[in-house]
Amino acid sequence: MTQWINESVFYHIYPLGFCGCPEYNDGKIEYRLNKVIDWIPHLKEMGINAVYFGPVFQSKKHGYDTSDYYNIDCRLGDNASFKKICEELHANGIRIVLDGVFNHVGRDFWAFRDVQNYGQNSQYCGWFQNLNFGGHSPYNDPFWYEGWSGHYDLVKLNLYNQAVVDHLIGAVEMWINEFKIDGIRLDAADCIEPNFFKTLRRFCKSKNPNFWLMGEIIHGDYNRWANPEMMDSVTNYECYKGIYSSHNDRNYFEIAHSLQRQFANGGIYQNLCLYNFLDNHDVNRIASTLRNRNHLKNVHTVLFTMPGVPSIYYGSEWAIEGTRTRESDSMLRPCLNLNAPGLKNTDLIPHIGKLSALRKHFPALCSGKYENVVIRNEQLIYKRFTDNQTIVIALNLNDSEYWLDFNIRGGCVLTDVLVDGSEYRVENNHANVMIPANGARVMILHNGDFNYSKFISDIENTVPKPIAVSSDESEIISAADRENVFSQPQQTIKRQLKYGKYRCYTGRDYAVLAAAKDYDSEEKVVIYKELFDNGTILVCPEKVFLGDIEIDGNKIKRFEYIDND
């Protein structure tokens, strides 16, 4: 299993919508996706450490109609600008997963254009599934071909053709080499030839053993696609439905059944780390799906405490609404500006941040086993546990607080680490816990040796490990990814570090607290604090903090000293 995935919290961005791109490609290069860099503090506030980008490569319309796998869609920028985005994300400890649309291409795909131009004389006739010259296509081409799911603007590729496979693997190689991506999400994975996945896996794992492959699967047995020969993971649509439906119907039996079936002892997916979500670019926003918005925190609590990796779809942290229609998905894929008046600071964002911190602090929430404890229509208790740690999750759908009795073994005290630090005694393996109205508790089971004050201090003052960046920022080195380390000459620092206030090129202010040295590498680092939101404390290599960044061809200071207030 890919090592980093269990500890990940994903943020899913549909770039063409997120950036407000024209519906149809106008051929003009606009560096709209650069705004992701300004979102990095927001992502870190929620504990995000992985971003899944929807389609970013050249297409005519929505991104899933690829016309060129080797170049970034000009509506988003170009290869050079996307490389810088990836560098900034990696430098901030955020991994990158791209959408691999390998089942079909758009009608503007260069090889399909060749067939249109040269007919049977084209050397690419064999690149497309069931292409023949015995009739006309719905677009009145003098040939017929297979479209994906009856959509003839999406031309199905012939993945039995070695030249096609070589072209796609070559694209992936370029993504890995150029952008240093950490994984791929495979679109329409249930429609793709299994041998292609085997070839793709062998190639990607040879480049990076920790490379992650995840497939979009809506129905069926997930083990068919997620196994040692094909992909590492798939989308967990079963629990996506179970989470919102159990809250809407006030019936926790539904999600409890799915979780038991999937992950409990003897569960069919207990050895998989599935990709969990509440919404995405294809389904209605969770804030529109839920009948009672008071349940928003509870659905996120389930998402972050169930087995697998959680994912937040961009904008849903503000509980924005959006539903799809027969005519359009645009409401699901809006353009968002970080400081727009319409994005209100709700208490959902700190809730997500707290849940991310709990996953980081307690290994049982990332990789522990699962077991149902109590199941009622409006209340649910389950636990995640390892040999050394047990976390109990209790949820309540009722509009009033609810006291619930249950049996639990392995300790004498339950301490809430999500809400308020409340403690509940466990006597004779029996506990009685108050669950807030429309709320939840996440509790650690212990023998009186858990220090809640120290725990709060630990999660509020966590300092990320320094990440070394080369002088030209073209190669990013993560302490967690030694296989990606490159030796680069170091930049000589000419500017003098001062204590006090600095303004980042993004416009946000920070206060330098101290200068330090990394214990292992002896590299000089800067410890600084956000002067906004929750005042998160950060660490950055000194040469990066005092260095320059290039914006639109101009070099400017990454951080500008303001004063010593």
Q: What is the pLDDT of residue 472?
A: 36
50 and 184 fall within a common domain: yes
- Beta-sheet pairing, 554-557 with 548-551: antiparallel
Q: What is the pLDDT of residue 256?
A: 98
* 98 within a domain of the structure (yes/no): yes
The mean pLDDT of 438-460, rounded to a whole number, is: 94
* 359 within a domain of the structure (yes/no): yes
Contact, 242 vs 276, CB < 8 A?
A: no
* 145 within a domain of the structure (yes/no): yes
Name the burial class of residue 443, with classes exposed (0-12), middle (13-18) and buried (19+) by CB atoms within 10 angstroms of its CB: buried
pLDDT band at 531 (very low <50, low <70, confident <90, very high): confident
End of a domain among 460, 490, 520?
A: 460
**Alpha helices, H only, 347-464:** 348-361, 363-367, 452-460
The SS3 call for residue 209 is: coil
Residue 539 pairs with which residues in a beta bridge?
527
CA 505 to CA 551: how far, in whole Å?
Answer: 9
| Cα–Cα separations (whole angstroms), residue 196 to 125, 201, 229 | 20, 8, 11
Residue that has been written with the tokens 């170049």 in this structure? 71
390 and 336 fall within a common domain: no
Taking alpha carbons only, the member of 100, 236, 107 closest to residue 159 is 100
pLDDT band at 520 (very low <50, low <70, confident <90, very high): low
Opening angle at CA 460, ends 514 and 536, nearest 5: 55
Q: What is the pLDDT of residue 547?
A: 86
Q: What is the pLDDT of residue 527?
A: 86
pLDDT band at 521 (very low <50, low <70, confident <90, very high): confident
Q: What is the pLDDT of residue 480?
A: 34
Q: Residue 559's domain spans which residues?
A: 482-563
* 257 within a domain of the structure (yes/no): no
- Which long-range contacts (C-beta less than 8 Å, at least 24 apart) are formed by 348-351? 348/296, 348/297, 348/300, 348/317, 348/318, 348/319, 349/45, 349/46, 349/317, 349/318, 350/534, 351/297, 351/300, 351/301
Q: What is the pLDDT of residue 345?
A: 65
Q: What is the pLDDT of residue 50?
A: 98
Name the burial class of residue 515, with classes exposed (0-12), middle (13-18) and buried (19+) by CB atoms within 10 angstroms of its CB: middle
Which secondary-structure segment (H or E) carries 197? helix 194-207
* 161 within a domain of the structure (yes/no): yes
The SS3 call for residue 230 is: coil
Residue 424 pairs with which residues in a beta bridge?
414
* 276 within a domain of the structure (yes/no): no
* 211 within a domain of the structure (yes/no): yes
Residues in the chain: 565
183 and 94 fall within a common domain: yes
Q: What is the pLDDT of residue 552?
A: 67
Q: Which of 94-103, 314-323, 335-344 has the lowest mean pLDDT?
A: 335-344
519 and 381 fall within a common domain: no
343 and 455 fall within a common domain: no
The mean pLDDT of 513-521, rounded to a whole number, is: 75
Write down the mean pLDDT value for the chain. 91
Q: Is the pLDDT of residue 21 over 60?
A: yes
Q: With pLDDT > 90 as the criterion, what percentage of the chain qualifies?
A: 78
437 and 547 fall within a common domain: no
358 and 370 fall within a common domain: no
76 and 201 fall within a common domain: yes
pLDDT tens for 242-269 read 999 999 999 999 999 999 999 999 999 9
The mean pLDDT of 277-304, rounded to a whole number, is: 97
Q: What is the pLDDT of residue 492?
A: 33
Q: Is the pLDDT of residue 381 over 60?
A: yes
Query: What is the count of structural domains for the chain?
Result: 3
The mean pLDDT of 83-94, rounded to a whole number, is: 97
Q: What is the pLDDT of residue 462?
A: 60
Taking alpha carbons only, the member of 14, 10, 16, 19 closest to residue 337 is 19
Residue 45 pairs with which residues in a beta bridge?
none
Q: From the CB of residue 519, how many other CB atoms can be counted at a distance below 10 Å? A: 9
Structure tokens at 320: 């924005």
Contact, 165 vs 179, CB < 8 A?
A: no
489 and 359 fall within a common domain: no
CATH number, position 425 = 2.60.40.1180
Q: Is the pLDDT of residue 380 over 80?
A: yes
Q: What is the pLDDT of residue 487?
A: 26
Taking alpha carbons only, the member of 190, 173, 206 closest to residue 69 is 173
Distance of CA 322 to the CA centre of its chain: 20
CA 348 to CA 332: how far, in whole Å?
Answer: 19
CA 515 to CA 527: how far, in whole Å?
Answer: 6
pTM above 0.85, yes or no: no
Q: Which of 78-87, 239-248, 323-332, 509-518 has the lowest mean pLDDT?
A: 509-518
pLDDT band at 454 (very low <50, low <70, confident <90, very high): very high
The SS3 call for residue 93 is: coil
448 and 497 fall within a common domain: no
Q: What is the pLDDT of residue 227?
A: 97
Q: Is the pLDDT of residue 484 over 70?
A: no
Contact, 264 vs 306, CB < 8 A?
A: no
CATH number, position 185 = 3.20.20.80
CATH number, position 509 = 2.30.30.320
* 5 within a domain of the structure (yes/no): no
Q: Which of 201-215, 325-339, 461-475, 508-522 has the lowest mean pLDDT?
A: 461-475
208 and 347 fall within a common domain: yes
CA 398 to CA 255: how far, in whole Å?
Answer: 17
105 and 23 fall within a common domain: yes
The 3-state secondary structure of 198-253 reads: HHHHHHHHHHCCCCEEEECCCCCCHHHCECCCCECEEECHHHHHHHHHHHHCCCHH
Q: What is the pLDDT of residue 522?
A: 74
The one-letter amino acid code at 147 reads: G
pLDDT tens for 123-162 read 999 999 999 999 999 999 999 999 999 999 999 999 999 9
Residue 382 pairs with which residues in a beta bridge?
372, 393
Q: What is the pLDDT of residue 53?
A: 98
